[in-house]
Structure 1
Amino acid sequence: MSHPLGVSRPDLEVTDLPTPEEVFKVSKIGPKELFKYAVGPSLIALGISIGSGEWLLGPLSVGQYGFIGVGWVILVSALLQTFYNVECSRYVLATGETPVVGWGRVPPGWPLWVPLSVLIVIFAFIAGGWASSAGDGVYALIHGTPPPSGDLEPRWWAVALLVLVFVITALARRISRVLELANWVMVGSVLLALLAVDLLVVPFSQWWEGILGFITPAAPPEGITATQLGGLAGFTALASGLNWYVMGHYRDKGYGMGHRVGFISGLRGERREILASGVTFPDDERNRGLWRRWYRLLMVDMWGVFFVGAVLGMLLPTILMSHAVTMSGEKPTRENVPTFVASALGAEYGQAVFFIGLLLGVLVLFSTQLGIFEAMVRVTTDAANATSPRLRALIQGDPRRFYYPFMIVLLVIISIIIFQSLPVALVEWSANMSNLGALLYPFLLMYLNSKLPRPARPRPWHYVILVLNFLFFGFFFVNFIADFIGDPLVTF
């Protein structure tokens, strides 16, 4: 028995959904088991999320222009992206295929969509701005002062952080699980430390100003460009139209039909194959009930962890930046924003606070680069494994034989790019390229999800939300291109 879906890819095999208890090897899923075993992919996404938007672009915009007219862009972006993440993950849960493989089922077929999608992801994220910005923080931690303009040492520290990503994945038994655990530590530490610092030093009036800015619709402030706003919108939460590149972790976690397909193991893990084509479930009473259970787990992971964490991850650094601007009487620039808050806090409260601020920045930006670097390799590996029988034969069904050599190649390329531009300029480019995805993938997703087994199909209003993603993020990308080649369509 099989389920046809789209074009140019094999039909999906049909078998029963596993139970959550079977996947996570527990007798029942209670609150303890939920957070110990089931929550996870959202943390990897959140580790990427609390990074360039939250630590660089958001604080830079708020520090220069204030909250009003900027904050609502952050909140709308976080809401739309969380809805979009759920729809991307719906496809993974229902088929066990990662989105990059699923795009190959959309007409005219995989020869267009799969290579194009890999190229867009790599083109958007290969700049390495997060590692470069974290390198600035490492330099300041070592020398006790922000790096001087033109100094290349921070770039070499950035390369060292990329090598550390390779080491982390190589030492893993199951790569997704190691990324989850690393982000439990980094994201948890960052949010708790930021909350503590904000409660200690930021006046209540600035807390209220930040919260009010998030919920107050207002025209963007005079002087801010659509490219800056587009970067903020694109990298609030995750990566707007390109968020799908992280959702494949639900397969490796074993959510839904992902349990039937396989996962990428580390060098210390057992040899694992990943099926070249996905699997789905029959429309019967048992599987309808199991689908509802898996979907509820997805909603807890996305709305209870990712959305809440993304909003806090943007609010806490931006109100701290607002306070830093008030204390210092200066505004951040693209050159000094990675270390601006730490420097302002250090001048006011002492060297110890300076180092705490730097360490937080390094953790934030490293967690982002960890997730992005690994995801670029993962997306390419999944795409190549699914579409090339010759490659599957060459690697003898073991995706690690492609994954790690490609990671080394990518490491070398990113290391070269890191030396070419300012960190924040690299990140702004990546953010606006993420908005390009919003012009394409919401419609591809609507096509795929409309053809899933009936219990897994979206409700009509879900399609409306996907169109809103297209309109909101697509506007910023079109304006970015117009600005890049001449004059922007909209100025403020």
Structure 2
Amino acid sequence: MADIVQSENTYPLGVSRPDLAVQDLPTPEEVFKVRRIGPRELIQFAIGPSLIALGISIGSGEWLLGPLNVGQYGFVGVGWIITVSALLQTFYNVECARYVVATGEVPVVGWGRVPPGWFFWVPASVFLIIFAFIAGGWAASAGQGVYALVHGRVAGSGDAEEPRIYAILLLVLVFAITAAARRISRALELANWVMVVSILVGLLIIDIVIVPGRIWWDGISGFFTPAAPPDGISATQLGALAGFTALASGLNWYVMGHYRDKGYGMGHRAGYLAGMRGERKQLLASGVTFPDDEKNRGLWRRWYRLLLTDMWGVFFVGAMLGMLLPTILMTRAVEISGDTPTQANVPTFVADVLKGEYGSFIFYIALLMGVLILFSTQLGIFEAMVRVTTDASHASSSRLRARIEGDPRKFYYPFMLVLLVVISVIIHLALPVGLVQWSANMSNLGALIYPFLLMYLNSKLPRPARPHWWHYVILVLNFLFFGFFFINFIADFVGDPLVTF
């Protein structure tokens, strides 16, 4: 990418951050280096950020919390919460990505333009992301799956330490993947292409072979059947399920920065995080936007259609399939065993039941699916915590930029090693699924805050990029739906929940 020469023409947006430089939007063909964007080019080059988000989403919500709740309480009264959550989160993702595509700034940097300014919102947002996800429940759960693969049995009460060691080794593997990359986002995309396709195809085959048609129907119809939550389930459990159904409710913005690194819209002008093997690339500390003229209005519509295709065609469809396939498999396992999963055994419950019914082969296949699912989440979340902190630090501190000589990698990789050590300690402190439920409800806290920050920013974008009025209504619905579950979580934590079933 050629160095950017800032124009005298700038665009003011918000407070406490430099005005945006103004340049023409690039064409998709220019960014992806193709003659035209047809179906093949769409799949090969344009689709990508949604896969990283989908790889994260299929883990904690779809493999752990969804099957746990459905396995204990059934589909009716639970399924519609999954559907509403997936719809609201996909709309929210599009609005977060709108800002990235229009300005080349990742959300954690954009929040610094909202009053009172970067000195409050940037560190607060980094803290919230770290606080929500550093618990490492996704890593600990993956370690349980690896233990079962190695030993051919589920870890017992006396085997707690070895799964944690495997979890730490998987964190090291994440570091290795990013270190070996030329372009970190591209490495994550390719890894998730392999894992997500393998997961969905593998689960589909297992479900077709094992799950009766009536359970398929119960699962699909449960997604669209409005009903009161089942007796005995808590609003805190439902809040965790809602928060992690598609991704991370109000904190989904932490993944949307990949649209910058993919080169969507003005992201192509802003730069990207290179890997250790990649050549050093310029990463702008402040964003770039486009003029409101006929040429750029047409280009914006093209980029926005690509964004909608990536989010609705890949992320939403994949998230719904990713929830349906594991939950109907869990329902079949509960039917076979006559037992229900618990927080302690849900990562390996299905594989253990299928081993007794169908033999070791299906046991290992189910375990492998579980490990891939949880590792894809581990890969995305661990890298995202490092990425958000790096982007925020690089954009906010001229002193840091001077110290690292303008090369974000000199901050990115050391911080990743520090985070690896911290998570390795924390995963010894609680059951994996309990840690995941904590993270999910912290994600719902984000829904009380960031929809309003997003409305402020997007309303000030160049006119062609601004949302329609009904987009703001949907952002308010995100606030109401996920925010209720967080408030209930706090009420439950300090005393009595707001509602009981």
2:409 pairs with 1:404: no
Matches within 5 A, 1:30-429: 30-151=38-159, 152-429=161-438
Give, as a single letter, the amino acid of the residue that structure 1 aligns with 2:263: G
**TM-score after normalising by structure 1:** 1.00
2: CA distance, partners of 1:121 / 1:197: 35
1: CA distance, partners of 2:443 / 2:398: 30
1: CA distance, partners of 2:389 / 2:447: 20
Q: Residues 450 and 457 of structure 1 are in contact (CA less than 8 Å); yes or no, is this contact kept in structure 2?
A: yes
Q: Residues 273 and 399 of structure 1 are in contact (CA less than 8 Å); yes or no, is this contact kept in structure 2?
A: no
2: CA distance, partners of 1:273 / 1:436: 34
Give, as a single letter, the amino acid of the residue that structure 1 aligns with 2:408: P
Give, as a single letter, the amino acid of the residue that structure 2 aligns with 1:121: I
Tell me how far 1:273 sits from its aligned partner: 2.3
2: CA distance, partners of 1:30 / 1:278: 29
SS of 1:176's partner is helix
Q: Residues 7 and 106 of structure 1 are in contact (CA less than 8 Å); yes or no, is this contact kept in structure 2?
A: yes
Give, as a single letter, the amino acid of the residue that structure 2 aligns with 1:169: T
SS of 2:223's partner is helix
In structure 1, the partner of 2:3 is none
| RMSD (Å), alpha carbons | 0.4
- 1:29-80 deviation line (CA, Å, top 9, x unaligned): 0000000000000000000010010000000000000000000000000000
SS of 1:296's partner is helix
SS of 1:218's partner is coil
**TM-score after normalising by structure 2:** 0.98
2: CA distance, partners of 1:374 / 1:335: 26
2: CA distance, partners of 1:257 / 1:150: 53
The alignment covers a number of residue pairs equal to: 492
SS of 1:439's partner is coil
Give, as a single letter, the amino acid of the residue that structure 1 aligns with 2:114: V
Give, as a single letter, the amino acid of the residue that structure 2 aligns with 1:166: F
2: CA distance, partners of 1:396 / 1:142: 45
Tell me how far 1:150 sits from its aligned partner: 4.2
- 1:352-390 deviation line (CA, Å, top 9, x unaligned): 100001010000000001000000000000000000000
2: CA distance, partners of 1:22 / 1:345: 50
Give, as a single letter, the amino acid of the residue that structure 2 aligns with 1:215: F
Greater Cα shift, 145-154 or 383-392: 145-154
Tell me how far 1:272 sits from its aligned partner: 1.4
- 1:187-208 deviation line (CA, Å, top 9, x unaligned): 0000000000001110000000
SS of 1:338's partner is coil
Tell me how far 1:230 sits from its aligned partner: 0.4
Tell me how far 1:131 sits from its aligned partner: 1.1
2:31 pairs with 1:23: yes
2: CA distance, partners of 1:14 / 1:119: 31
2: CA distance, partners of 1:478 / 1:264: 36
Q: Percent identity?
A: 78
2: CA distance, partners of 1:305 / 1:49: 12
2: CA distance, partners of 1:170 / 1:140: 28
Tell me how far 1:402 sits from its aligned partner: 0.3
1: CA distance, partners of 2:158 / 2:215: 35
- 1:380-415 deviation line (CA, Å, top 9, x unaligned): 000000000000000000000000000000000000
Q: Residues 84 and 466 of structure 1 are in contact (CA less than 8 Å); yes or no, is this contact kept in structure 2?
A: yes
2: CA distance, partners of 1:12 / 1:44: 28
SS of 1:391's partner is helix
Give, as a single letter, the amino acid of the residue that structure 2 aligns with 1:465: I
SS of 1:13's partner is strand
- The list of structure 1 runs, each at least 4 consecutive aligned residues, that deviate by more than 6 angstroms after superposition, is none
1: CA distance, partners of 2:109 / 2:427: 30
- 1:412-466 deviation line (CA, Å, top 9, x unaligned): 0000001111100000000000000000000000000000000000000000000
Tell me how far 1:149 sits from its aligned partner: 1.5
In structure 2, the partner of 1:453 is 462
2: CA distance, partners of 1:490 / 1:272: 52
